Structure 1
Amino acid sequence: MSDVAERRNYDLRDEIKAYWSERAATFDLSPGHEIFSEEERTAWHRLFLRHLGSGDGRMALDLASGTGVISHLLDDLGFKVTGLDWAEPMLNLARRKAAGRKRKISFRIGDAENTMEPDECYDVVVNRHLVWTLVDPAAAFAEWLRVLKPGGTVLIVDGDFVSTSVLERLCGKLSAWGQRAGIFKPEAPIHSRDMMETHRSILSRVYFARGARAEAVVDLLHEAGFIDIEVDADLGEIHRTQAKNWNLFKGLARRSQHRYAIRAKRPDLA
């Protein structure tokens, strides 16, 4: 890679880090980020149990852990959890939340593409809405394979938030119109125009700028050395519980998106 490319990637990573640092203060206010009902919590538990099994004290790494939402779900199931994020404001909130709930979750700063974690340390690696933001997913997947124990599992929960369908665009417009007209409650939080422009600018330059389709993620996982890869598009239970926090059209737009969970295994050397 050229020096120019290295500087460009470094700059983009810095922008991503700064963006999520600024988003930290309002992150937990958004449905789809924090858990807003026990019904939703149960739906997430079922997804994790389906693909990871019960924790039983096994080591779990939550990448791009943010305020610790996924870390707490894994802790509920008996995993020994480490949350890694590179935005200090997110980590500060995560630590306070864990202390308030008396959870023994370790949160520390780190880069999902270069974790600095020991080889073959974790039984599972989990992340939610991380892959679509990656600058170099091939390097990230190789890194996740490295930190997994032989036979360990990675679970990716993500989606294509770029290639919108006609239905999604229509529902999005109806939702926005209803909010402007006062028919629907405004979404919280409402981000500034500058923040939205920053988000669009970042999205246009990440690897999956055209959308993180499940099949493209699967191909990169295969190339990194993962096996037994399964795509689970049955996230309806989670989406139904989240939709109760939105107006009808926002919920329909959300459910029409290409969202998925991908489970993959590191080969067992034995």
Structure 2
Amino acid sequence: MDIRNHDLKEDIREYWSKRSRTFDLAFGHRIPPGSELDAWAAAVRDAIGAAPQKVLELACGTGEVTKVLLSLGHEVTALDFSEAMLDVARAKHAGNERVRFILADAERTMEPHETYDAVICRHLVWTLTEPEQALADWFRVLKPGGRLLVFDGDWAKLTPVGKLASLAVRVLERFIGQDPHYDGAMSERHADIMKRLPFGDGLTVERLVPLVEEAGFKDIRLPTRGAIVKAQRRKAELRNRLRTLFYRRFILVASRPDPLRTGAFADKTVQ
């Protein structure tokens, strides 16, 4: 075992565990009922189809994307590296028989071969210590024809508009005070972890797509996040509306080829 990598993973686990109790209070993490939940549900339906499926959710955190998946009727195995995060998720979905929560490493899930119709993650890929290994494992657990759905972004660099929005937030907070629950609440720890990650200098679709292709995925497409962003802004205060401009975010959908079928979304790929 690479001890340096082991230490990094333990630092990542500790960071997210410490944030578990207040994580849903940070803007952009909770998915409230109404238009925002509907927008997330529509994005999932567009990516993997409307029929109930067997889904592996990676890095489920407090179970917010789990909530979206369950609302669509899917059977969900939700895993996370942090027991503290899983405690929150289990309490949130107690009694729901269509979800199974497990403590596991998203880079090496240990799930059986060709088990799932879809593998889904939100804000996970940027934290991977071994992205090639992780993508190979996700390909392995998907059934032929199964789909990978990634929600993520470049959290290392502000967009040009984001730089102006960040300045506006700093000015605004001189009058209303800082938000103790935003990601910057543990900014020094966060920054230390980021600089040690493969994507610590920024996760972009330009970097990710070749890795997804090398893992064997096909029919890669990049749906718009417009409806989700619009829903997030609808009820947000000014500070949080500005935060939606900070970073370049994206959705990526890809398929494990099925030799017996043609790609349902072939006409929408980016290849």
Bigger Cα displacement from structure 2, 91-100 vs 40-49:
91-100
CA distance in 1, matches of 2:240, 2:164: 10
Q: CA deviation at 1:128?
A: 0.3
Q: CA deviation at 1:158?
A: 0.4
Q: TM-score, normalised by structure 2?
A: 0.90
Give the SS at the match of 1:181.
Answer: helix
Identity fraction in percent: 40
151, 154, 178: which one pairs with 1:157? 151
Cross-structure match for 1:202: 193
1:129 counterpart = 2:123: yes
Q: CA deviation at 1:247?
A: 3.6
CA distance in 2, matches of 1:67, 1:24: 7
1:189 counterpart = 2:185: no
1:15-30 matched pairs, under 5 angstroms? 15-30=11-26
Q: CA deviation at 1:87?
A: 0.2
Q: CA deviation at 1:253?
A: 4.0
Cross-structure match for 1:261: 251
Q: How many residues align?
A: 260
What amino acid sits opposite 1:139 in the alignment? Answer: Q
Cross-structure match for 1:229: 220
79, 84, 89: which one pairs with 1:84? 79
CA distance in 1, matches of 2:184, 2:249: 26
Q: TM-score, normalised by structure 1?
A: 0.91
1:90-101 matched pairs, under 5 angstroms? 90-99=85-94
Cross-structure match for 2:40: 44
Cross-structure match for 2:138: 144
What amino acid sits opposite 1:51 in the alignment? Answer: A
58, 62, 71: which one pairs with 1:63? 58
Give the SS at the match of 1:135.
Answer: coil
What amino acid sits opposite 1:189 in the alignment? Answer: H
Q: CA deviation at 1:248?
A: 3.0
CA contact (8 A) 1:54 1:77 kept: yes
Bigger Cα displacement from structure 2, 63-72 vs 167-176:
167-176
**Structure 2 portions without partners, runs of 5+:** 261-271
242, 251, 254: which one pairs with 2:241? 251
Aligned-CA RMSD value: 1.8
CA distance in 2, matches of 1:78, 1:250: 31
Q: CA deviation at 1:263?
A: 0.4
CA contact (8 A) 1:171 1:250 kept: no
**Structure 1 portions without partners, runs of 5+:** none
Q: CA deviation at 1:103?
A: 5.5
CA contact (8 A) 1:236 1:255 kept: no
Q: For residues 78-100 of structure 1, give each alpha carbon's deviation from its aligned partner in whole angstroms, at most 9, with x where no partner exists.
A: 11001000100100111100017
